[in-house]
Amino acid sequence: MITQCLKKVRGETLEIPVRMHRDLPDHDAIKTVTIKKEPTGAWFVSFCIETVKPDKPDIETIDSKDTIGIDLGIINLIRDSDGRSVGRLDLSDDRERLEREQRALSRKQNGSNNWEKQRRVVAEIHETMSDKKRDLKHKLAHFYTTRYDAVFLEDLNVKSMLEGPQNARNKAEVGWRGLLEIFQHHGEKHGCHVVEVDSHGTSKECAACGVETPKPVWVREHSCPACGYTAGRDENASFVIQKRGLSELGVGHSEGTPAETGTATLTTFTNSGGTVSARPVVETGSPTLKEPAKAGE
Ligand SMILES: [Zn+2]
């Protein structure tokens, strides 16, 4: 158990007491220790350790049922090919508080003691908000990489470019940047393939027949003029992502198209009551509550 850290500041050695968020897992060696001071004045110590990584399953042994396609959406944060939805992260209270405290800051005299105090209040809210986002990303990554042999996500930079500025708020809110790295980090840790797929036209392509039908962002239904397949926009996209992931990874699938498998799952899902909030999906992965923010932001 580590209880303190030493840091040299201007020639003096500081003894910093350490409160561990969790025990260090079994490891071969501590590689690096990083000590960082947050704008709020709080110190953070992170340990980079070497561990034995589990092997990822052989491609030949992977069943398409043990893989998942994840669509990162506008209305729902996440829609996956097994019928789960994760609602948006509600940061409205924090945002309101932030605006209020920022206004208060602008009324203080720049550089004064009161200004400095208020600056810390603002910095703390920023920190709380980014902690919540990071936490959610780690929980999601943990959830999916511990349940599946392979997880397929879209190439996010291209996706946000394609969907344009009307989607900016949603993107900014969650900050999808760093998500893939976090998934990859958990994938390594839990022995799960994490594959980024081409996001071009994932919402246009029909998951059942592959024909592309352009539809603007506000059209929430996929209805294929070529084969008649209908599904929710994000639902269809999640199947397309899974299909692309499977072929990228080289997994053959014997029974049915992902779309067929997915439709079956969707029925069960709809019966169980529509969209779920981030909580139930995520809570199963709660051991990651204290996941270190090693990968990503
Ligand atoms: Zn079709």
User: How far is ligand 1, taken at its centre, from the CA of residue 85, in Å?
Assistant: 23
Each as own residue / partner, the long-range contacts of residues 105-111 (CB below 8 Å, 24 or more positions apart, any chain) are none
Return the axis-axis angle of helices 258-271 and 233-249, rounded to nearest 10°: 140
pLDDT in tens, 122-176: 999 999 998 888 898 899 999 999 999 999 998 776 555 455 555 554 444 556 6
Q: How many Cβ atoms sit within 10 Å of the Cβ of residue 182?
A: 24
The sign of the CA dihedral 223, 229, 232, 233 is negative
User: How far is ligand 1, taken at its centre, from the CA of residue 270, in Å?
Assistant: 22
Please give the Cα distance from 291 to 296 (Å, whole number): 12
User: How far is ligand 1, taken at its centre, from the CA of residue 69, in Å?
Assistant: 18
Lowest mean pLDDT among 112-116, 184-188, 238-242, 251-255: 251-255
Query: DSSP per residue over 200-213, as a string?
Result: TTTTTB-TTT--B-
Give pTM, 2 decimals: 0.69
User: How far is ligand 1, taken at its centre, from the CA of residue 246, in Å?
Assistant: 19
Q: How far is CA 88 from its chain centroid?
A: 12
User: How far is ligand 1, taken at its centre, from the CA of residue 250, in Å?
Assistant: 23
| Strands across the sheet containing 193-197 | 85-86, 78-80, 67-72, 150-154, 193-197
Name, in order, each residue with C-beta under 8 angstroms of 164's C-beta and a sequence gap of 6 or more.
Answer: 217
